[in-house]
A and B are shown apart, each in its own frame.
Chain A
Amino acid sequence: MKLVSRNALRWLPAFVVPAVVVTAVIAVPLQAGAAVDLPDKTPEQVLLLVNDSTVSAFSGTVDQSSDLGLPSLNLTEALPEGNDSTSPLGLTTVLELLSGSHEFRVYVGGEGQSRVQVKDRMAERNVVHNGSDIWLYDSSTNAATHLSLPADLEATAQAKSAELHSQLPTDLATPAQLAERFLSELDPSTTVSVGTDARIAGRSVYQLLLTPRTNEMLTSDTLVASVSIAVDSETGLPLQVTVLAQGQSAPAFQVGFTAIDFAAPNTDLFNFVPPANASVTEQTLPAKPEGSTGDHSGDHSPAVGEVPVVTGTGWSTIVEVPAAAVPAELGDNPLLDQLTTAVDGGRALTTSLVTVFQSNDGRVFAGAVPLAALQAAAQ
């Protein structure tokens, strides 16, 4: 009898230790997200907090995940063919970044100095911006691209690239850029409120909640259910952006810091020298942003009939790209067949957030609206 009880006691660790480990696994994240209570703020005050943010230098880790319902892509197979788009801004890259999840390291060192590292498996892609130099480096191909911005053109180029950045998913790496974009969209079509306080990357945040008003124009309802922006309560830096789609509980798109440090990063990081044996391509940016996706942002010389037409307002805005302005790259990219499905009147790419519709006559329509709205616009 005594023996049995001693043996039972000896089995205790086999149950206790796993239980403790499991408890720790569950409890630690819960504690990290423990209730935060910040002084109440109105949406306007939070917006001002963002506006007044003086953070110019920081470094951090950013996690981005998308659940857009994109068809799974056979990227490895498609890559060699689309190899002209090895430039880190190529269509393939954009699609790749939009599917699944990615981890970035972001370093911002004040005026004109920044570095974004996309952490791939056993590889890394870098974008280093230092004054008038931009270096792109991809370790898997060991290829570097150098873009130099002429000094006098820098200002316009920056404005241009800022405009371009707001359209390109590749550059949504820092939440600040994303938040700015959404804040500029604020208009009567949106309800803005402050949600429950939370903790992101170890910092207490206000959650700015943007919900589209759907009472007007019910026919072209938007696919976006809500956008929430987590704003650091101390510095006003947006730390996370989450986009929820209609009828989907998991975030359709989320990008946010998992760690952030407000100390200025080492300036050596921004002095990029390409490795000795890398293949280096020199490019001058303003000439033509080649390799840019250009599918939504009509960055071509605006000849007549090539300018994208914007219809609708607010969340149900539809962009129409005339057939002449659709880049040829789109036509022969093998990925496109994988992505799109044939629908009434053309081909369509439907995701939980964005719908793209190419009508049979070559025009491309895109918007955060259901497919039917795009088809109606094509009529």
Chain B
Amino acid sequence: MSPSETRPPETEGGPHVRHGGSWDLLGSEISVLFRRRRTWAMLVAVALIPILLAVAVRLSSSTLDPGEGPPFLDRVTQNGLFVGFTAMVVAIPLFLPLTIGVVAGDTIAGEAGLGTLRYLLVAPAGRVRLLLVKYAGAALFCLVATLTLTVSGALVGAALFPVGPVTLLSGDTISVTESLLRSLLVAAYVTVSLLGLAMIGLFISTLTDVPVGAMAATIVVSVIAQILDVIPQLDWLHPWLFSHYWLGFADLLRQPLDLGSFAHNAILQAGYLAVFGALAYSRFVTKDILS
């Protein structure tokens, strides 16, 4: 077998032995990730979603009837704080999974494709630690992407439209401060929603040395899950799909605040994390690293 297979097990190499090494590895992974032009391009594109929405609504002379267009879009003209919510609804089905697919699919396969995976493992980093660090990077990207969307939505909304107390779905009104808190809660919800997909992407990334393939496969998985989610004959399957609660953040916009779906979603994502984390571990520690 390959030389890397016969070396003393890097896997049990012990994160406790070289703790500093883990943090260094994580730091370098994050700085590489966020120095990439690709990452910046994706974040800019994410930030553009609310900006485009807000500008389009601002320039348009026709007013929307309530309930027309994407959720909350008709409220935007009266209250700029709704821009972020509308943008979130628009971005969740395709755009955010797309960016997660690119980042998560690239994690292992990207290094393998560049031929740098071998060198990463030559340092006594260990495969498990490398997996963890790669996943942490992808998870951080989930958070940064949703925060980018939220912040850019709030800023452009405040710049173009009046800002005032926000009407929740229940018809109750909350203050601007509380609505900003709820926006952050929504961002947290969406971040958690994407963690399962990120782990699936990490697993797929361990299967191949072609990063583009892993990215495409991850995105396809997210699209398939959403297609399955709308087929009524498969309703027994729906609660188990990682995408099923993606739009459930609406529950955070009800009064009184309902954290039930947040918990539900988190448990579901934890399940996906466990299953695909185990698969990624098994696949990666037994993989022949040739490049």
Interface range for A: 35 or more
* Least CB distance, A206 to chain B, in whole angstroms: 27
B contact residues around A275 at 8 Å (CB): 167, 171, 173
* Interface check B29, CB cutoff 8 A: no
B contact residues around A289 at 8 Å (CB): none
Given A14-B281, A269-B256, check contact A126 B286 (CB 8 Å).
no
Complexed CA–CA distance, A259 and B260 (Å) = 10
Query: When each residue 158-196 of chain B gets 1 if its CB lies under 8 Å from chain A and 0 otherwise, what string results?
Result: 000000010101111100000000000000000000000
**Contact call A274/B254, Cβ cutoff below 8 A:** no
Query: When each residue 130-147 of chain A gets 1 if its CB lies under 8 Å from chain B and 0 otherwise, what string results?
Result: 000001010111111000
Complexed CA–CA distance, A7 and B171 (Å) = 58
* Least CB distance, A69 to chain B, in whole angstroms: 14
**Contact call A10/B171, Cβ cutoff below 8 A:** no
CB-contacts of B17-51 with A (<8 A) = none
* Least CB distance, A147 to chain B, in whole angstroms: 15
Closest A residue, CB atoms, query B65: A141
Complexed CA–CA distance, A61 and B251 (Å) = 13
B278 partner, pick from A17, A25, A144, beta carbons under 8 A: A17
B282 partner, pick from A10, A20, A259, A278, beta carbons under 8 A: A10
* Interface check A87, CB cutoff 8 A: no
* Least CB distance, B50 to chain A, in whole angstroms: 17
Complexed CA–CA distance, A7 and B72 (Å) = 53
Complexed CA–CA distance, A10 and B251 (Å) = 41
* Least CB distance, A277 to chain B, in whole angstroms: 5
**Contact call B171/A139, Cβ cutoff below 8 A:** yes
A105 partner, pick from B6, B173, B258, beta carbons under 8 A: B258
Closest A residue, CB atoms, query B6: A3
B contact residues around A144 at 8 Å (CB): 171
* Least CB distance, B122 to chain A, in whole angstroms: 20
* Least CB distance, B11 to chain A, in whole angstroms: 8
Closest A residue, CB atoms, query B203: A14
CB-contacts of A92-136 with B (<8 A) = 105, 117, 119, 121-124, 126, 135
How many positions in chain B have a CB within 8 Å of any CB in the partner chain? 40
Complexed CA–CA distance, A122 and B251 (Å) = 8
Closest A residue, CB atoms, query B79: A277
Complexed CA–CA distance, A274 and B254 (Å) = 14
Query: When each residue 11-22 of chain A gets 1 if its CB lies under 8 Å from chain B and 0 otherwise, what string results?
Result: 111101110110
B contact residues around A117 at 8 Å (CB): 170, 254
**Contact call A123/B71, Cβ cutoff below 8 A:** yes
Query: When each residue 1-15 of chain B gets 1 if its CB lies under 8 Å from chain A and 0 otherwise, what string results?
Result: 100011001010000
* Interface check B279, CB cutoff 8 A: yes
* Least CB distance, A341 to chain B, in whole angstroms: 22
A contact residues around B169 at 8 Å (CB): 122-124, 139
* Interface check B283, CB cutoff 8 A: yes
CB-contacts of B243-277 with A (<8 A) = 247, 250-251, 254-256, 258, 260, 271, 274-275, 277
Complexed CA–CA distance, A10 and B9 (Å) = 11
CB-contacts of A240-277 with B (<8 A) = 259, 266, 269, 272-277
**Contact call A21/B275, Cβ cutoff below 8 A:** yes
* Interface check B78, CB cutoff 8 A: yes
Complexed CA–CA distance, A67 and B100 (Å) = 39
Closest B residue, CB atoms, query A59: B256
B271 partner, pick from A21, A105, A269, beta carbons under 8 A: A21
Given A13-B278, A14-B282, A17-B275, check contact A122 B250 (CB 8 Å).
yes
A contact residues around B277 at 8 Å (CB): 17
Complexed CA–CA distance, A7 and B285 (Å) = 8
* Least CB distance, A354 to chain B, in whole angstroms: 23
**Contact call B282/A12, Cβ cutoff below 8 A:** yes
B contact residues around A20 at 8 Å (CB): 274
**Contact call B78/A11, Cβ cutoff below 8 A:** no
* Interface check B120, CB cutoff 8 A: no
A contact residues around B275 at 8 Å (CB): 17-18, 21
Given A16-B278, A123-B169, A275-B173, check contact A3 B285 (CB 8 Å).
no
* Least CB distance, B278 to chain A, in whole angstroms: 3
* Least CB distance, B1 to chain A, in whole angstroms: 6
* Least CB distance, A139 to chain B, in whole angstroms: 4
**Contact call A21/B274, Cβ cutoff below 8 A:** yes
Closest B residue, CB atoms, query A79: B67
* Least CB distance, B74 to chain A, in whole angstroms: 8
B contact residues around A143 at 8 Å (CB): 66
What are 25 pairs between A and B in contact, CB < 8 Å? A3-B6, A7-B286, A10-B11, A10-B286, A17-B277, A17-B278, A17-B279, A21-B271, A21-B274, A25-B240, A25-B271, A119-B251, A122-B72, A122-B89, A122-B169, A122-B247, A122-B250, A123-B169, A124-B254, A139-B169, A140-B66, A142-B74, A259-B260, A275-B173, A277-B78
20 new A-B contacts at CB < 8 Å, known A16-B278, A117-B170, A272-B172:
A7-B286, A10-B281, A11-B282, A12-B282, A14-B278, A14-B282, A17-B274, A17-B275, A18-B278, A21-B275, A122-B72, A122-B247, A122-B250, A123-B71, A124-B254, A126-B170, A137-B171, A276-B165, A276-B167, A277-B75
List residues of chain A with CB under 8 Å of any chain B CB: 3, 6-7, 10-14, 16-18, 20-21, 25, 61, 105, 117, 119, 121-124, 126, 135, 137, 139-144, 259, 266, 269, 272-278
